[in-house]
Amino acid sequence: MKKLLALAALGVMAFAYQDCAMCHNGGMAKKLDTLTPAQIEAKMKEFKAGKGNPMMVNIAKSLSDKDIADAAKKYGKK
């Protein structure tokens, strides 16, 4: 059962990364287009280091630095 829950959690994290806007531009969390890519990248690195919202910490830990940079460019202020 624990393995099944872990796999489900990984699937949710992978899906969340692919569409950050699902939460961030849907009203559940801060809008990402109000932040610069550099601000997003810095915050994601804090999360990856284990600081802050536990849900975001888990998502950030599953991402490479390139994934974080790509997401910051995609969702950050233009």
CA torsion 20-33-44-53 (nearest 10°) is -70
Average pLDDT for the chain: 82
- Report the percentage of the chain scoring pLDDT > 90: 55
Q: What is the pLDDT along the chain (78 residues), one digit of tens a residue?
A: 655 555 455 555 555 556 787 888 777 888 999 999 999 999 999 999 999 999 899 999 999 999 999 999 999 998
Number of domains in the chain: 1
**Closest Cα to residue 62, out of 2, 5, 1, 15?**
15
Q: How many residues does the chain have?
A: 78
Fill in the amino acid letter for 51: K
Q: Which range marks the domain in which residue 24 is found?
A: 2-75
Please tell me whether the overall predicted TM-score, pTM, comes out greater than 0.85 for this model: no
For residue range 64-78, what is the model confidence (pLDDT) as tens digits?
A: 999 999 999 999 998
